[in-house]
Structure formats: C-alpha cells, structure tokens
Amino acid sequence: MVTGSTLVCEASGVFRRRRQTFDVAERIDLVMAAVFIRDELERMEHLEEHLAFDFVYASPSAVVDGPLGLSDAFVHYRHDEWRHTLLRRTSHVDLHHAFFRYSWERIENGATVMEGWSFGTLNTQGLISRIVSFDGLLLEQHAARK
C-alpha cells in the first residue's frame, strides 16, 4: 500500500518474514547498493525484497527482466573490483500515482564517471516494478558523449 511518499509492505501471515515500512527513496537506494553485493544469495535476497517478480529494467544498453536480470546487468562491475563502483541517487525522489523519478551518478574509484536520471513505477504492493534509466542528465550531455 502506498501512502504519500512512504509505502507499507504487507504480506499474508503465511508468507510474512517481517513487516517493514520503506520510503520509496530508501527502497531505490537499497536496490542501487544491492546490485554490487558480491555474495549471490545475499544480493538476490535484497533485490527480491524490493523488486516485483515481474520487474523490468531498461537502460540504453540493455532491457532485462526480474531481479536476476538486474543482478546480471551489473555483473561486470562486481567482477572488476578495481573499479570500486557504486551508484548514488543525487536528487530527491519525485513520486505521484505510483510513478517516480530521480537522478543518479555512477562513481568509480571515487570519481563520477556517469550521471543520469531514471523513472519507474511501483506495483500495488509498493515494490518497484519498472525502472527506465537514461545516461546524461541533459540530452546535450548524452549526445556529446557519443
């Protein structure tokens, strides 16, 4: 259930592991961190906690399905440890009617190497169901990099 900018995740007592309240921004930040967790079981547990089973991620370089697809989309960053890569949200999360948007940056070795923005949707349980990302905060920035 979505209430304002906070969502409450509830499950049937049979399936409930724990009840948690997540701010949408917090949920996005947790997903951004989870894609870099080296342990596969731990990574997938975190992603499955915040992403819908039918989650879709679209970026300029790929379209992937499900939490496993998102995990796979970031595999080379986990394997190239020398990069010391992280994603960080650089704006507040603008949310209305289960649609959201925010800006982000990718940092490697302490330096910003890419900035961009994303928009997405939440499902009726408040899980992230779609994220569409664009490289470059402004169209001119992205065009200049090509």
Structurally, the chain folds into a number of domains equal to 1
**pLDDT on residue 10:** 41
Output the pLDDT for position 2: 46
In this structure, what CATH number is given to the domain that contains residue 91?
3.10.450.50
pLDDT in tens, the chain (146 residues): 444 444 444 443 333 344 345 689 999 999 999 999 999 999 999 999 999 999 999 999 999 999 999 999 999 888 776 678 999 999 999 999 999 999 999 999 999 999 999 999 999 999 999 999 999 876 555 455 55
Give the burial class of 23: count Cβ atoms within 10 A of its Cβ; 0-12 exposed, 13-18 middle, 19 or more buried.
middle
**13 three-class SS:** coil
**pTM, entire model:** 0.78
Q: Which domain holds residue 102?
A: 2-145
Matching residue, tokens 């704006």? 91
